[in-house]
A = this chain, B = another copy of it.
Amino acid sequence: MSQAQPPADGPKKTRIQQKNRAAILEAALDVFSAHGFRGATIDQIARAAGLSKPNLLYYYPSKEAMFTTLMSNLLDTWLNPLRAMDPEGDPMAEILAYVARKLQMSRDYPRESRLFANEIVQGAPRMLETLSTELKELVEAKSAVIQAWMDAGKINQTHPKHLMFSIWALTQHYADFDVQVRTLMDGEDPYDAAPAHLETLFRRLLDPAQS
């Protein structure tokens, strides 16, 4: 009974809405990933999106809403590489492909990686629900697949979940700790050597030809 009825989040309506909503989420990704939820301000996002602050709040009812919309939009993309791991494929090839895809994600979408990193490092106050349902389900399923591969002797025995943690840690590190990595490699692009390094690492870990 006050604010000019803002558009519900449901179906996109006009082309202006589509354009502005997209611009806002893009700007929000920039700002949230660089400063975290608390560190980001609506004004910053507005400036980055080329809109006014009240205008942002016309499209999204609150800063929280921008954040959660952004998160849930991105989660699917983020989990795609894991979903793409094919139980019918060759185990070693599938895992190495997953590692490669995940590393490529770090390279192509570092902001998304840092967005999730920020949130999880701080205890995932706005994502615990998602972690313990959607992500957990996917991880359980893929763990079982990996376990089956191990039981079939296709790859070495290891703890499937710790294997997954290792893949996430190693690939996301290049995006999340980008500043540190680049500072220490002065000039050399980390992504020159990273793919080969990680492939070797996981191949040696998993190749059953080696004890």
Binding site for B on A (CB under 8 A): 34-39, 114, 117-118, 120-124, 128, 131-132, 135-136, 139, 158-159, 161-163, 165-166, 168-170, 172-174, 176-177, 179-181, 183-186, 190, 193-194, 197, 200-201, 204-205, 210-211
A194 pairs with B123, CB closer than 8 A: no
A193 pairs with B131, CB closer than 8 A: no
A122 pairs with B132, CB closer than 8 A: no
Instruction: State the 8 A-B residue pairs at the shortest beta-carbon distance, nearest first.
Output: A38-B39, A169-B173, A162-B197, A169-B169, A204-B204, A159-B193, A131-B183, A124-B179
B39 pairs with A131, CB closer than 8 A: no
A131 pairs with B179, CB closer than 8 A: yes
Which residue of chain B is the closest to A206 with respect to CB atoms?
A: B204
A35 pairs with B165, CB closer than 8 A: no
Across-interface contacts of A197 in B (CB, < 8 A): 158-159, 162-163, 166
Across-interface contacts of A120 in B (CB, < 8 A): 176-177, 179-180
B183 pairs with A136, CB closer than 8 A: yes
Question: In the complex, A29→B127 CA distance in Å?
Answer: 23
